[in-house]
A and B are shown apart, each in its own frame.
Chain A
Amino acid sequence: MSSSDYAVFARGLEKRYGDKRALDGFDLTVEHGTVHGLLGPNGAGKTTAVRALATLIRLDGGRAEVGGADVAREARQVRSRIGLTGQYAAVDEILTGRQNLEMFGRLFHLGGTLAARRAQELLEQFDLEAAADKGAGGYSGGMRRRLDLAASMILAPSVLFLDEPTTGLDPRGRSEVWDSVRNLVTGGTTVLLTTQYLEEADRLASRITVIDQGRAIADDTPDGLKATVGGSHLEVVVAEAADLPAVEKAVARVARGATETVIAERRVQAAVTDRVAALTDVARTLQDEGIAVEDIGLRRPSLDDVFLQLTGDRPAQDRDADGAYATYEKTEAAA
């Protein structure tokens, strides 16, 4: 397969700001007609990657093709094939929704008549007709997001860069935006979705790339990613914090790796391989020792677990075994 068989094909992207490497050999492959999630903690390079792919910033190294055109040498072609939303690009807040869409349509060289017709189409499609002639600055969060999407869809781009499309929306607004996105994909658009909400990526994306410190550190389907974290977690919640060290000992015997203790929730958890055996083993031990258990069970990992494990971005007291133990002793002393 050649690179043009993909909606986005990026290899070894480099971008430096002074000493900081915002992109450090970043690779990304996005298949046509899919929603591809790009996840990463703040400052991981998500925005830099998208701005580079959208021709807004020049790369220091590597090459990237979007919609089959090279971002450096064929920027104009790339620009005619992409749509940009969210923090990457805004609409005019003083103009009305319709005026915005007509202006962007004319700037896409549709001509006045066609621009007006396309604006009307999009206003209907994104359910904005009622507010079409009101200033965009007064729109609700969901309406603004839909106008933003509509403005990116004027030329029905082959690749849409979608940034945190549902941040700050109520559940209804969220599902409306999700529906719009699914519709776009049905219409043949490829979506590169950057988001902080793992649930959103899990729902919309068929493939996810995790970026950290300017590099792609994982690239898989949501299920594939969850599998890499390990099958299941065993979780025990006890009634008395004083029992935590004993529970930790019991769980450690069946754990695949380190155990994790959350003092505040009186909870011990660990990844396990032999699910049922581990569960019965720990349950029996705790019963034998007469420890009051509030809850015990197996849990499938969420994308949050994947994200946290891959990026190591978790609160110190959870990650640091020594730190956790130190907190223990304090709890014991208090008790």
Chain B
Amino acid sequence: MSDATTAVAGTQAGVSQAPAGPRRGRAHWALADTLNITRRYLTHFQRQPITIAWQLGFPIISVLLYGFVFGEAMKTPGNEGDYKQFLMPGMFVMTMAFGFMNTAMGVAMDASKGVIDRFRSMPMAPSAVSAGRGLSDLVVACAELTILALTALAIGWRPDNGVLNTVAAFALLLLLRFSLIWVGVWLGLVVPTPQAAGSLYGVAFPLTMISSVFVAPSLMPDWLGPIAAWNPVSSTGTAARELFGNPGAGGSSWIEQNAVLMAVVWPLVVTAVFLPLAVRRFKRLSR
């Protein structure tokens, strides 16, 4: 019992000697806090290998399913090239697009369990809570894209437009994922329970289907095609096809002609809208 007392008193002394916090400056600690939160989420995967296996395995299964089940039956615009070549960039985009669900569920879980409240009661940078979540999401997205690309290569997908364009395509995919982090954080704080966040799949699925992910908008009914073409997800998909040199990038509408530009503009717009919303929602926790 006296040991406990000494330990507490000892640490009190130790801590008052080491006020490293304020001396290093705010930016330093905001970054350090962010990296610590990132580490926390990545440790979750280490603690729950099944979760990461499922999260990384799902895209592989999707690639194989859609590639082989639909592969022969589906058409590419103008019947140029192989559907698999058309589909793979779409699968990359779909995986990035669905990522916001993981963000939303993780944030909703932390909010409902009181973990976010503990962070908020600590002398850490408040921005680190969401920034750390976002950074870990991007790390996971890189892992997902790597696994997807390897699987796609294994079943015959080929990017043949030079290294630079290939890198640019992956950068655009990550930019889309980045913008959706803020949608996820916002949704995670808006929904009442983690279960409610899970049910967002019902919204996410049609939003990704009505796009160029699986079928070119030009092959859809006249009323649906333009909606699909203007879906932000389509711009990233079309831009990726263009940069990878895969078939079906084209399309006659303005939005399809300027896919690479719009694959930059759309995520910036989404970020400009949802980042402030997420910040505001976070601040509303103090109400």
Contacts and interface: CB of A to CB of B under 8 A. Distances in A.
A79 B123 contact: yes
B287 A125 contact: no
Given A95-B44, A108-B122, 6 more contacts: A93-B113, A103-B36, A107-B119, A114-B18, A118-B11, A188-B8
Instruction: Give the residue among B7, B33, B285 with the most A Cβ atoms within 10 A.
Output: B7
A122 B37 CA distance: 21
Contact of B40 (A88, A95, A124): A95
Contacts of A89: 114-115, 117-118, 121
A55 interface: yes
B209 interface: no
Contact of A94 (B1, B12, B48): B48
Contacts of A180: 4
Interface stretch (A151-159, A166-174, A213-221, A247-255): A151-159
B202 interface: no
Interface residues of A, number: 49
Given A90-B113, A93-B113, A94-B48, A56 B121 contact: yes
A106 interface: yes
A84 B115 CA distance: 11
Contact of A56 (B21, B37, B120): B120
B43 interface: yes
Interface string B245-287: 0000000000000000000000000000000000000000111
A92 interface: yes
Given A183-B1, A183-B5, A82 B121 contact: yes
Contacts of A187: 4-5, 8-9, 12
A287 to B, nearest CB: 54
8 contacts: A56-B285, A80-B21, A87-B114, A92-B115, A108-B122, A125-B3, A180-B4, A187-B5
- Which 4 pairs across A and B sit closest by C-beta, in order of nearness? A89-B118, A187-B8, A90-B114, A80-B123
Interface string A89-117: 11111111001000110111111001000
A93 B109 CA distance: 11
Interface string A29-58: 000000000000000000000000011111
B47 A94 contact: yes
B221 interface: no
A234 interface: no
B4 A109 contact: no
Nearest to A85: B118
A320 interface: no
Nearest to A106: B36
Interface in A48-74: 54-58
Contacts of A54: 121
B22 to A, nearest CB: 9
B32 to A, nearest CB: 7
Contacts of B40: 92, 95, 103
Contacts of B36: 103, 106-107
B124 interface: yes
A189 B4 CA distance: 13
A96 B39 CA distance: 14
A125 B4 CA distance: 6
Nearest to A52: B286
Contact of A95 (B29, B43, B114, B286): B43
A121 B11 contact: yes
A56 B114 CA distance: 11
Interface in B1-28: 1, 3-5, 7-9, 11-12, 14-15, 18, 20-21
B8 A56 contact: no
A228 interface: no
Interface string B63-76: 00000000000000
Contacts of B43: 94-95, 99, 103
A116 B90 CA distance: 45
A221 to B, nearest CB: 25
Contacts of A109: 20-21, 29, 32, 123-124
B14 A58 contact: no
B53 to A, nearest CB: 15
Interface in B107-134: 113-115, 117-124
Contacts of B11: 118, 121, 155-156
Contacts of B285: 56
